[in-house]
Chains A and B, each alone.
Chain A
Amino acid sequence: MTQSNNMLAEVKDLRVYFDAESGPVRAVDGIDLAIGQGETVAVVGESGCGKSVTSLALARLVPEPPGLYAGGEVLYEGRNVLGMNEDELRDLRGNKISYIFQDPSASLNPVFRVGYQIAEALRLHRRDVKVREEVINLLRMVGIADPEERARVYPHEMSGGMQQRAMIAMALACHPKLLVADEPTTALDVTIQAQILELLTSLQNQLGMAVLLITHNLGLVAGVAHRVYVMYAGRIVESGPTEEVLTRPRHPYTRGLLDAVPRLGGTSERLKGIEGVVPNPARLPAGCRFHPRCPLRQTVCEEKEPILEQVDAAHASRCHFWQELSET
């Protein structure tokens, strides 16, 4: 990464462990990640491979304990987030880095009206604006019809898609430079998923913010993300421009994820997933962490963990045999 000076947020060799009776759970184990100004970056991986923990670490939101920042650093505009005090962190959260989460119905406080919850974000970070009008503006901006009316309802009186729009309005209240969307569409209907993704993309163009999109569906990132990081068992296994990774994956795990994406037209072919499950981060296999599930494994995979090798300037893969993957 040569362009590290103009990066908005950077993660360098980050390690986040959790305390457990059986020993430390290495949920995130040495991750490098960079997000440029106005860029959309996707992190893709199966459930439990550490995506959410990585995204929370950007604003030091992993609960400590049981979490522990065991190493590495997180930089936001060059400043070390992990070294910030409480006041600096509160100024960062919701103001410079905002989050939207997977389950909008549970992420909104059930006892408050939607408008109030958006207003709270405004009052906290932007004292200069007229709160009522700004709430209405925000709701209109995220495509909620009849915003005056909608500001007065309680979360459970909205549909799931509407709730997620309200969450987005809340996250955008302070015009953050980085929006972290942790599986923003997983809990929603397929049709609404597309609408929400479209909304996020258009808002991003409008506001010029960077977006970190977390998903387990590699099919979702095409046409949305500029770059993709594929994560497995607490590590990045492949990274590169979206086009490049989707069309010429250089890691068997990425290929497995791609095969798992249902495609229009390909109905006759059986959906191929990846055999097995993500290893328990408390008991990671020796050698390459993917080798027990890998269709291409060799003896070397069981002994030696591959490093993240550059395929070209922007594309990297953590596989001993990435060169052999190019032809297929």
Chain B
Amino acid sequence: MTTQMDNMEQSARTLWSDAWRRLRRNRLAMICLWVVIFYTALAAYGEVVYRWHQWKDITPSYQQTDLDKQYLPPSLFRQPFTVESGAEVGVMERMSSGLRELARHPLGTDGLGRDVMQRLIQGTRIAYMVGIVVSLIAIPIGVVLGCLAGYFRGRVDDVIVWLYSTFAAIPGLLFILAIAMVVGRGLLGVYLGIGLTIWVGLCRLIRGEVIKHSERPYVAAAHALGLSHARIIFRHILPNVFHVVIVTFTLMFPAAIGTEVFLSFLGIGAQGEPSWGIMISNARLRLWHGVWWEMAAATTALFFIVLAFNLLGDALRDALDPRLRTGRQ
């Protein structure tokens, strides 16, 4: 008799475990998840390296210039180096020195003789920093304002809708440039510039969901129980719309990274740090002389992380969609 209702109402436990099961069956999504995990590990490793050098107060190798090793191609594309042939050099020695050579600057070096792979890893670290800090700025703003607008409606709603419409109307790049002008060039400007504009989409989605949920009987029941507005909004409604936050996060993260790379490329992002954008910008200079590896490394890294996050976000949206939640097991 109430099976229909039962189907519509899903518990947290089944919601998340169902979503996970559905995600697990999606081959592509699982590959993307592994790609994301791989990048995350790289970023974490980069952070450790960065901290360690800071703590030791030494110049990290990815910043050390070595003009003897300018524009060294990736190891696979280097001239097979010559070992003095002689009877005393055995096969084992040849192989191990060959491997050592392969591991030396595997992605080559840039115009100042700095290791591209290490810089790439640092670029991943910076990309993650931007993704994380931007999310930490944008998600609380979007969630809180969206909840307030959707729950209270009326005047509060008008003000918040006006606010995000205004933010949405400002061209993003212009806003970021203005912020960079105020706080100076550097990552702080990037964090604020992206973080303060990217919340609009989340806010809109949360508002819509909260409006729907505010009319559900369980909210009326919570009122009748004497719960405060804050508790109803953040303890009762928010967990029911949280899937929106997760999906938005997986789409917001690569968007923030992409914007950061673009800004750094233009020279108003990261300063003096090996962001992917800086790498691409530097690589432009000698690209037509056949120095392609720095450009290739940075763009490929950016391409795959953006792709992986976006595909994962789409898969998550499908997996968490309440309309799809009912049917297939």
| B1-A156 in contact (CB<8A) | no
| B9-A110 in contact (CB<8A) | yes
Q: Taking chain B's interface residues, is the majority helix, strand, or loop, or is none over half, making it mixed?
A: helix
A95 interfacial by beta-carbon distance below 8 Å: yes
Which residues does chain A contribute within 8 Å of B216, judged by CB atoms? 106
Interface with B: A25-33, A42-50, A86-94, A278-286, which one? A86-94
- Which A residues between 52 and 74 are near B, CB-CB below 8 angstroms? 59, 61, 65
- Which B residues between 208 and 233 are near A, CB-CB below 8 angstroms? 216-218, 220-228
Contact of A156 among B10, B153, B228 (CB under 8 A): B10
Contact of B6 among A65, A105, A109, A112 (CB under 8 A): A105
Q: Assuming A101-B217, A111-B240, is B226 touching A125 (CB within 8 A)?
A: yes
Which residues does chain B contribute within 8 Å of A99, judged by CB atoms? 221, 224
| B218-A107 in contact (CB<8A) | yes
Could you tell me the distance between the alpha carbons of A108 and B5 in the complex, rounded to whole angstroms?
Answer: 12
Which residues does chain B contribute within 8 Å of A187, judged by CB atoms? 2
Which residues does chain A contribute within 8 Å of B226, judged by CB atoms? 89-95, 124-125
Contact of B221 among A59, A101, A157 (CB under 8 A): A101
| B221-A110 in contact (CB<8A) | no
Question: Nearest A residue to B223 by beta-carbon distance?
Answer: A61
| A110-B225 in contact (CB<8A) | no
- Min distance, Cβ B286 to any Cβ of chain A, angstroms: 56
| B225-A170 in contact (CB<8A) | yes
Question: Nearest A residue to B238 by beta-carbon distance?
Answer: A111
Interface with A: B11-19, B34-42, B99-107, B271-279, which one? B11-19
Could you tell me the distance between the alpha carbons of A111 and B227 in the complex, rounded to whole angstroms?
Answer: 17
Q: Assuming A106-B5, A107-B220, is B11 touching A124 (CB within 8 A)?
A: no
Question: Nearest B residue to A65 by beta-carbon distance?
Answer: B154
| A124-B240 in contact (CB<8A) | no
Question: Nearest A residue to B5 by beta-carbon distance?
Answer: A105
| B228-A110 in contact (CB<8A) | no
| B13-A154 in contact (CB<8A) | yes
Question: Nearest B residue to A155 by beta-carbon distance?
Answer: B9
A120 interfacial by beta-carbon distance below 8 Å: yes
Could you tell me the distance between the alpha carbons of A107 and B218 in the complex, rounded to whole angstroms?
Answer: 4
A34 interfacial by beta-carbon distance below 8 Å: no
Could you tell me the distance between the alpha carbons of A105 and B10 in the complex, rounded to whole angstroms?
Answer: 10
B69 interfacial by beta-carbon distance below 8 Å: no
Which residues does chain A contribute within 8 Å of B224, judged by CB atoms? 59, 61, 93-94, 98-99, 101
A198 interfacial by beta-carbon distance below 8 Å: no
| A155-B11 in contact (CB<8A) | yes
Interface centre among A111, A121, A187 (most CB of B within 10 A): A111
A167 interfacial by beta-carbon distance below 8 Å: yes
Could you tell me the distance between the alpha carbons of A93 and B221 in the complex, rounded to whole angstroms?
Answer: 10
B60 interfacial by beta-carbon distance below 8 Å: no
Interface centre among A59, A61, A91, A109 (most CB of B within 10 A): A109
| A160-B220 in contact (CB<8A) | no
How many B residues, CB 8 Å from partner? 28
Question: Nearest B residue to A188 by beta-carbon distance?
Answer: B1
| B240-A110 in contact (CB<8A) | yes
A189 interfacial by beta-carbon distance below 8 Å: yes
Question: Nearest B residue to A89 by beta-carbon distance?
Answer: B226
Could you tell me the distance between the alpha carbons of A83 and B175 in the complex, rounded to whole angstroms?
Answer: 48
Which residues does chain A contribute within 8 Å of B15, judged by CB atoms? 111
| A110-B217 in contact (CB<8A) | no
B184 interfacial by beta-carbon distance below 8 Å: no
Could you tell me the distance between the alpha carbons of A109 and B217 in the complex, rounded to whole angstroms?
Answer: 9
- Min distance, Cβ A96 to any Cβ of chain B, angstroms: 9
| B221-A107 in contact (CB<8A) | yes
B236 interfacial by beta-carbon distance below 8 Å: yes
Could you tell me the distance between the alpha carbons of A124 and B230 in the complex, rounded to whole angstroms?
Answer: 14
- Which B residues between 1 and 31 are near A, CB-CB below 8 angstroms? 1-2, 5-6, 9-15
A13 interfacial by beta-carbon distance below 8 Å: no
Which residues does chain B contribute within 8 Å of A61, judged by CB atoms? 220, 223-224
Q: Assuming A61-B220, A120-B225, is B1 touching A105 (CB within 8 A)?
A: no
A243 interfacial by beta-carbon distance below 8 Å: no
Could you tell me the distance between the alpha carbons of A106 and B240 in the complex, rounded to whole angstroms?
Answer: 13
Could you tell me the distance between the alpha carbons of A160 and B2 in the complex, rounded to whole angstroms?
Answer: 6
| B5-A110 in contact (CB<8A) | no
A302 interfacial by beta-carbon distance below 8 Å: no
Question: Nearest B residue to A97 by beta-carbon distance?
Answer: B224
Which residues does chain A contribute within 8 Å of B140, judged by CB atoms? none
A259 interfacial by beta-carbon distance below 8 Å: no
Could you tell me the distance between the alpha carbons of A155 and B221 in the complex, rounded to whole angstroms?
Answer: 14
Question: Nearest B residue to A110 by beta-carbon distance?
Answer: B9
Question: Nearest A residue to B16 by beta-carbon distance?
Answer: A111
Question: Nearest B residue to A167 by beta-carbon distance?
Answer: B221
| A156-B9 in contact (CB<8A) | yes
Other than the given A103-B5, A109-B222, 8 more pairs (CB < 8 A) read: A65-B154, A99-B224, A105-B6, A106-B217, A107-B217, A110-B218, A111-B239, A154-B11
- 23 CB-based A-B contacts, threshold 8 Å: A61-B223, A90-B226, A92-B226, A98-B224, A101-B221, A105-B9, A107-B220, A108-B9, A108-B218, A108-B221, A109-B218, A110-B10, A110-B218, A111-B11, A120-B227, A121-B225, A125-B226, A160-B2, A160-B5, A163-B2, A170-B221, A170-B225, A189-B1
Question: Top 4 closest A-B pairs, CB basis?
Answer: A154-B11, A93-B226, A94-B226, A94-B225
